[in-house]
Amino acid sequence: MSSRTEIIEKYLLGDLNESELIEFEALMKSDPELKSEVELQREMMNAALKLGLKAEFGTAIKQLKFKQKLIKGAWIGLALMCVMGTGYFMYNKFSTEDSVKTSVKPEALPDSSYQTFEIEDKDTIFETQGGVVVAIEAGTFKSNKWPVKIKYSEALTPLEIMEAGYSTVSGKSLLETGGMFSIEAISEGKSVSFNKPVRLHVPTEKVSKDMLLFEGKMSEKGIIDWVNPKPLSNQLQTVDLSTLDFYPEPYLPKLKSLKIEHTNKAFTDSLYYTFSGYRNYTQAPAVETKKSKERDILTFSRDKNYDYEFKNDGTIVVYDRYQNFTYNFKSLDEAYKYSLKHNKPLMNPGTLEMRVSGEYDIAAPDFPSDSSSIEYEIDPSRIRAIKDKRFQKTLIATKAFEERIRFIHTTCNPVLLDAYVDHLEWKMYEIDSLCETMTQGKVKQQFRQFKLRREGGVPISDRLSRRLKSYFDVKWNAYAEASRKVWNKTRLELVQARGNVNQIQAQINQEDRIRHNSNLREEYCLNIENACKQLKTENIYCEGKFPSMNYYAVNVVGPGTYNLDKYVIDATKKRSSLRYETEDGRVAEITYTGMEVSINGCENYKSLKVYLIPEKLSSFQRVLEKSSGVYYEKLNMAMKYDLVVIAKKGDQYVSATIKSVPTGKMSIDLIPINREDLNNQLNEFSIFGKQLERDLIQFEKLEIAQKKMQELEAIAAKRKEIAWSIFPCMNRQEMSVVTATDLKLK
């Protein structure tokens, strides 16, 4: 039997081969019963065809009718802004010419057709008779007298609309209605304007994407024309990604305050992206601790993985931000035991102990190194990855997401950003809800607020969503890696610049020390020779080797003189005058007299250097600044000194030389001189010339190195300033050692 039906079907569908067909047709001729069965089966096929088609028409009609009805279930949000006493329509454009227009003045409606609600100035939600939920935020209406009366009327079904006598015309076209309503706020008998949107949730069985919100305009003839249609789909509207601002909120204001170009988006973007990895090169955030305002919580603190609440009753709540898991402990003891038993870093006894003992400002606890996989804050590379044009037309490219990302920045938790990128195919409020479950406290509340807006998504296939997700992971890691390299390079640069400065400075100091020591020895010899001459005694102190300056090499040679060298050493070191009298009345005097030189207009000069060139010694002597522009030194009266002053005014050298400098006060002017003439001038001082020139060159080198270092440091400091605006959880005390040369700061 089965094969018979099968063969007939094959015959009817033309699936028999040639020989089978011949055989079958022969069989039909001889068997009238088979023939009629074939006919019947053919008609069955036709019936299937017809009924299938009919069913399709039926479905299409049903769908069309659905659109014209208001049905219960899904939510549509409408925003009415600053319009008073105006009716609103939700309509589909339906058909034109051949439709009948109806219109009646809505004014003619008796007051009884209005529903009235009284509201206070606080968040209010009420439901109308027709099941429309009206949400009015506090501050929507300005009024001196509360409650404010809300006058509301609605026509949600075609019957109601006809009874209310509203027209369903927009220009010349007839509209398909999703319901109409009029809302007006009345205070002290007057209409009040709307300061904030009022949300209406209109029940419907099926959300039509084509629904628009029309505004009612009364024509002179008293006919309402519905104008100014706006889409109301709870699907999110995507906008051009490049117009969205995904920066942390304080970023642009910070640039503005630092007088950095903040309006050039290409620049601010690239500047922002250079901060990728910044947090990895600074220390892990130190534990932030603050006294909780809540009474039952003694202290609240957080470190890189966990939030701790130490309550007054001795219990401890540890919340793992990344695993979204909360541990409750009855006591510190219990926490310790758990920590030891499970080897959980969160239970680091040190961490807990310090919290409890009241030392709140401690460094980050010693966590295992594998915590490096956890990031803090929203790395700019992540933002860069989602700013890619591939994310156009996804829920990333929406104003709603902009709002969320700006909030996520303040949480410092990249997991929340990932939640959105990982679920592009979801509705916005579903992801909000996910984030709500992952967070705590104020953050949780904010995500709850987001969720309650019930914002929809942007349609996207699962496949595309998955592709974008993996694109995001690959891309932001690549950006971060590239940025890491730049960081390494720039960090090295600053370290090198600092090293250079230190090295040159050290060399200068070293040479100064050598000069100072050799001068001291020479001057000691000079002084002791002088003293011996005055005492008419043999100089036995300064032959061949000079005595060390660090200890007293005293040779006792005769009565009355054996302390001489000590006194002379002291006098020489202190550059103070000495009068030495022996028991037999001989006197030796060594005299130091002050010389003070003030440089006129010293504030105009930089790298001011004052040298004394002692006639009888082999190295110059550096004169130190006593006060601004005033240089003071005591001169040994046993010899003459020349004075050389060199400084720079901008890039111009200025100098002055005084031969046989007098003691006492004097002031001098510096005269501009070019580098070559300066060299010639210095060469006049024979061996000292070379020394002075070398000193000059050393300082020139130092100046260049310092300039470079200062530049880099200035950039680093500025970047640190900016970084604080980018990474809200970054500790203010944190040292940042990095900089970037690609940043052109003015």
Partner 1 sequence: MKDEHIIISLREGKIQKAVKGLYSAFPLINQNVSKNSGSKEDAEDLFQDALVILYKKVKDPEFKLSSSLSTFLFGIAKNLWYQELKRRNKVLEPEIFEEDFSESDLYKQAEEAFKLLGDKCREILILFYYAGKSMSEIAKIMSFSNERVAKTQKYRCIEKAKLNFNQLNQPSL
Binding residues (CB under 8 A) for partner 1: these are 1-2, 5-6, 9, 37, 39-41, 43-58, 60-61, 63-64, 95, 98-99
What is the rounded distance in angstroms from the CA atom of residue 295 to the CA atom of residue 311?
9
* Residue with Cβ nearer partner 1 (5 or 563): 5
Q: Which amino acid is at 420?
A: Y
Quote the least distance from Cβ 51 to partner 1, whole Å.
6
The answer to whether 211 and 70 have CB atoms below 8 angstroms apart is: no
What is the rounded distance in angstroms from the CA atom of residue 431 to the CA atom of residue 111?
44
* Residue with Cβ nearer partner 1 (54 or 122): 54
* Residue with Cβ nearer partner 1 (99 or 500): 99
Q: Where are the alpha helices (DSSP H) in 288-369?
A: 332-342, 349-356
* Residue with Cβ nearer partner 1 (63 or 312): 63
What is the rounded distance in angstroms from the CA atom of residue 85 to the CA atom of residue 186?
10
Quote the least distance from Cβ 99 to partner 1, whole Å.
8
Quote the least distance from Cβ 42 to partner 1, whole Å.
8
Quote the least distance from Cβ 66 to partner 1, whole Å.
12
Q: Where are the alpha helices (DSSP H) in 357-461?
A: 380-386, 399-411, 414-422, 428-438, 441-452
Strand pairing report for 664-668 and 592-599: parallel
* Residue with Cβ nearer partner 1 (46 or 257): 46
Three-state DSSP state, 688: helix
Quote the least distance from Cβ 208 to partner 1, whole Å.
13
* Residue with Cβ nearer partner 1 (54 or 574): 54
In this structure, how many other beta carbons lie within 10 angstroms of the beta carbon of residue 255? Answer: 22
CB-neighbour burial class of residue 403 (10 A; exposed 0-12, middle 13-18, buried 19+): middle
Quote the least distance from Cβ 12 to partner 1, whole Å.
10
Quote the least distance from Cβ 384 to partner 1, whole Å.
43
Quote the least distance from Cβ 92 to partner 1, whole Å.
10
Q: Where are the alpha helices (DSSP H) in 95-165?
A: 158-164
Quote the least distance from Cβ 214 to partner 1, whole Å.
20
Quote the least distance from Cβ 69 to partner 1, whole Å.
14
Q: Which amino acid is at 490?
A: T
* Residue with Cβ nearer partner 1 (41 or 187): 41
In this structure, how many other beta carbons lie within 10 angstroms of the beta carbon of residue 127? Answer: 12
What is the rounded distance in angstroms from the CA atom of residue 568 to the CA atom of residue 562?
11
The whole-angstrom distance between residue 723's C-alpha and the CA centroid of its chain comes to: 6
* Residue with Cβ nearer partner 1 (47 or 704): 47
Give me 561's structure tokens. 């003189």
* Residue with Cβ nearer partner 1 (35 or 491): 35
Burial of 140-169, coded b for 16+ CB within 10 Å and e otherwise, reads bbeeeeeebbbbbbbbbbeebbeebebbbb
What is the rounded distance in angstroms from the CA atom of residue 216 to the CA atom of residue 229?
10
List, as one string, the DSSP characters of 644-668.
EEEEEETTEEEEEEESSPPSEEEEE
Quote the least distance from Cβ 457 to partner 1, whole Å.
24
In angstroms, what is the C-alpha Rg of the chain?
46
Quote the least distance from Cβ 210 to partner 1, whole Å.
11
CB-facing half-sphere around the CA of 532: CA atoms within 13 A: 16
* Residue with Cβ nearer partner 1 (174 or 568): 174
The whole-angstrom distance between residue 146's C-alpha and the CA centroid of its chain comes to: 44
* Residue with Cβ nearer partner 1 (52 or 349): 52
* Residue with Cβ nearer partner 1 (95 or 195): 95
Three-state DSSP state, 258: coil
DSSP-assigned letter for residue 601: T
Three-state DSSP state, 420: helix
